[in-house]
Structure 1
Amino acid sequence: MSDELPNPKLDDHPGSNTEKDPSDWVSGDDPMTGAQASYLTTLCEEAGENLPPDDLSKAEASQRIDALKAKLGRD
């Protein structure tokens, strides 16, 4: 019996800690970043939707980005 810990690099489907629900973000209540605002504007224009309000939080912006990407059929 081995006492070695499993090596996640050898796992075909390792769990990911890089994806976290935006509502769980420590900085989720911070104002959206400039990059988020720019990307949201582009996605809204492409989807024919109203531009996002300027006062979105990082978490809200991320959720809007995900929804627009899904609507536009992007990964």
Structure 2
Amino acid sequence: MTDNPKSNPTGNAEKDPEDWVTGDEPMTGAQASYLKTLCEQHGEEFQDGLTKAEASERIEALKG
């Protein structure tokens, strides 16, 4: 059986951010917005200029 993303829609959701093909691109607007909110809630400083992978890891750390 082939690995069809449509048959397993969460397959890529489990991929480590360091392995993302686009992980070194600037974080998305949605990531920045969510990260700003989480930083405010936790009294942390928002870091602008993160990559997609870095933002994802920071979001997960603040959520956890």
For this structure pair, what is the TM-score category when the shorter chain's length is used for normalisation?
Answer: 0.7 to 0.9
Query: Percent identity at matched positions?
Result: 66
Larger Rg: 1
1:37 maps to which of 21, 32, 44? 32
So what's the TM-score if we normalise by structure 1? 0.69
RMSD across aligned positions (CA)? 1.6
Take 1:38 and 1:55, find their aligned partners in 2: how far apart are those partners? 13
d(CA) in 2 for partners of 1:61, 1:51: 10
Question: Which runs of 5 or more residues in structure 2 are unaligned?
Answer: 2-7
Which runs of 4 or more aligned residues in structure 1 lie more than 6 Å from their structure 2 counterparts after TM superposition?
none
Report whether the alignment pairs 1:48 with 2:51: no
Unaligned runs of 5+ in 1: 6-13, 71-75
* Number of aligned residue pairs: 56
**Cα deviation per residue 1:24-68 (whole Å; 9 max; x = unaligned)?**
00000000000000000000000111112x210000000000000
Between the two structures, name the one with larger relative contact order (CA 8 Å, sep ≥ 6). Answer: 2
